Structure 1
Amino acid sequence: MITGVVTNIQYFTMFDGPGVRTTVFLKGCRLNCRWCHNPEGVRHYPEVFHLWSKCNDCGQCDDICPTGALQVVECLEQDVTGAAPGSISVKIRDKMVRKIRIDKGLCLGCRQCVEVCIQAAFVISGEIMTVAEVIEKVAQERLMYENSDGGGLTLSGGEPTAQPEFCLALLKAAKEKGINTALDTCGYVRWDILNEMLNYTDVVLFDLKNMDHKVHKEFTGVSNDLIRENARRIIARGGVEMRVRVPVIPEINDSAENMQKTAQFISALGLIEVDILPFHPWAGQSYRLLGLDYPFTVGEWYPVEKQEAIEEIFRANGLKPNRLGG
């Protein structure tokens, strides 16, 4: 029986492939992007997080951890109010909060803190599920897929190919039930593994984060050589629709030079459209809720005028930019 670790199953998603879809987030990633919007999905195993917003500081967990992994700290937090899409005018309020940080190196995952907390402030990110359990949930929405112009299952993460056996089995099972499949990937995976997955994939959502080798490694932890090569291989292979998605991250990949190189690379692949995902302020909420440090300023939407300038670069290279979520 094949099992995997799932962080979330999200229904009625609109930006994870054609039509209305069910997106299954698999846990684990080979990259370590500083701006990751799903920090709970990076590690490859179920783990405990502390939701400080639910904590009432009752002290029930103070002595419960057998390894001393729970550490109480006080830190300055930025509370954001009044933000609106397309606006960079927000109210930011500084406040001191008491947080419990979990030393992942000491945490055994014994769940004693989860069981003792009456506020449900400790949660487990990552549920071990079978292929049959996941597909049963996905198949419940079959009527929605059929009525939404190509909807279906999208595997995301984390990085779904980081669980290669589970990912492949899910794609196979979905196709056996006649469900459209999409694979949302960073492309950092051995070609023989990816190539087999593509046999059961209708759409590939392929992320391009930065074209500069040095910058890509600095901010994601890995080179982009394999990623670029896999993008070319997918096109040469054929038999699957490919959509490139470009996250726009301030001061990391949003320079005119990088966007020009990105547009040229996509155009050389023979593609016509590109999906652009502009940076948004709510990316930091997961970090705040999970007691993690967020590396960007809280509460800032990516400026509209800069977004429009980037889109113009893609148009100048013969591409049609589609702005998602911004």
Structure 2
Amino acid sequence: MLSKEEYIKLSLEYNLFFARIMKEHLIFIEASLPIKNSRLILDIDDLKKDFESFLLEIVYLANKQIGEDVLSSNELVTQYTLNAELLTEFYTGVCIDTDITKLEMNLVPKYNKNYSPELYEKVYNLNMEAINLVDNLIQLQRDLTDSVLDCKIFITLYPLLLEHTFEEAEVYLNILEKLQSLDESILDNNILKKEVFWNEIMEEHSMFIRGLLDPTEGNLINIANEFAALFEELTIEAKEALENNSPAEEITEKSLEATEKIKDFKSEATEGLLNCNIRSIIIPLLADHVLREAYYYLRILKSSN
């Protein structure tokens, strides 16, 4: 069973990362739907605002309550996040609460081991709120993906990207449910299970980047292709090692090396997009979004070592 201290710290850290990821998924969907779907767009925007309100509450609670490793990892915000939000808002007209980002940029890590009983209750209630929000998000994503695959709705996002966002929402929901039951399996240190999931995520990121680049960006397309092939192979190796109960060290070292490289690629791509040096149809915030997920995965891999 998780201790109250573990519960509070993990709840705040997971919510800071995943709630931002979820609300950005909604931004990408909203910006990619034709105006014909104006009613759906408004519903999506309402849910996005709900996630922003929730995330703002989490940010206020998290100050001086979370680990230095999380704050220094760049998984919550990067040096590009604020500019990426401002440029995305300018391009798409989707309103983004940048005050959340400014607050996150100034978060301070935990300085003592004590948590108040009031904080535990607040976190518990916020986790319940998050479960409700993610349930609503999953239902929306499921309905939208079905409509796209049935050719009832057109959207300028790949069906695979929609399924990708759906999978991440399910991971977040599973984490929240484990937290609420104080399930200590959330502390499971089986790195191979995480590598199977996140190597596949990195592979899909590479494919999305490749497909959203302008055809004239041949060099970048080739690099994205190489990363897609690399992470596909790493996913296979991690699955085999997991099934055979093999040692994780060698595959984890390869995953770490590959993720460091794709992090650098994504960072350069984000900077290039913000400076208008890359031809593409990539929303600037999407570039920063996938960069933060690489930073998140890097922290997991490094902590396993």
Higher strand share: 1
Give the TM-score normalised by the residue count of structure 1. 0.27
Give the structure with the larger helix fraction: 2
TM-score by length of 2: 0.29
